[in-house]
Structure 1
Amino acid sequence: MSTEPLVRIVRGSLSDEELAALTAVLMARAAAAQTAAAAAPAVEPIATWSRIERRPAYFSPVSWQQAA
């Protein structure tokens, strides 16, 4: 997750109308992101472990297999 703020007011202050418009835009974006996340297909979990007996005993430090 990003630690940078989504919106930053650099100078000045917002009027009531500008604040209402900004709030409406941010709420619309949040709602769109929420519906997009709900519509996304479920991802099957993938095992990231491997059985120790199925791995080779040694890879050379310069082997191409070391990166895999």
Structure 2
Amino acid sequence: MTEPLFRVVRGTPSPEELAALTAVILAAASGDGDSAPTPASPWSARVTQTRRPLDPGPGAWRASGLPH
């Protein structure tokens, strides 16, 4: 005989609620803990979303297109 995955201690959940809880527990348990998180895209980096201050002067228009 196998042990139950979980048990309801208080309340009377509906079959749909129990199914949802089972799905969440199984999804969390099946996650691969060895995989590294996906690195964030440079497009989502905060520094690329903010503007640099404008520096007026000779060559400023050319320097404005250069990376930080």
TM-score range (shorter-chain normalised) is 0.3 to 0.5
Q: Compute the TM-score of the two structures, normalised by the length of structure 1.
A: 0.36
Higher relative contact order (CA 8 A, sep 6+): 2
Q: Which has the higher helix share?
A: 1
